[in-house]
Amino acid sequence: MTQNKASGFTLMEVMIAMAILAIALVAIFQLQSQSISMSTDSRFMTTAALLAQSKMVEAEADSTLDNHSEDGDFGPGYPQYIWHMAVGDTQLPQFKKIEVTVINKLFVNRGTYTLVLYKTQGL
């Protein structure tokens, strides 16, 4: 009596291999999505920091630091970015608080960057 054993994979082996492959692919795609999200966030933080610093330099150059609030944009070079600047008093009368906020209109969450400077009046 000879046994004729067919070579190949059983249905169970194929299903287990497909499940392992599916789990691995989901993990890889999730890591790729997270990487893209982190890259977008870091690009925003870098751009917003530079734009806020440029606006802060303009505020520092202003010799009169009267309490006021301003809004604006950064022109056609950065159409999705807007800024808000507020100059106000602090608890110490010789200091003023300058706060510059840069907002990316395209971001729903985490699209705001704020830079704060305390400056002595008259210097």
The pLDDT-based confidence of 2 (bands split at 50, 70, 90) is low
**pLDDT tens column, 62-100:** 767 788 899 999 999 999 999 999 999 999 888 989 999
pLDDT at 114: 95
Measured distance CA(22)–CA(16) in Å, rounded: 10
Please give the average per-residue pLDDT across 2-15, as a whole number: 79
Measured distance CA(14)–CA(17) in Å, rounded: 5
**pLDDT tens column, 31-47:** 999 999 899 889 999 99
Question: What is the distance between the terminal CA atoms of the chain, rounded to a whole angstrom?
Answer: 105
* Partners of 69 in beta bridges: 86
- Residue 8: what residue type? G
Q: Going from the N-terminus, what domains does the chain have, and what CATH number goes with each?
A: 11-120 (3.30.1300.30)
Q: How far is C-alpha 11 from the chain's CA centre? A: 47
Chain mean pLDDT for the chain: 89
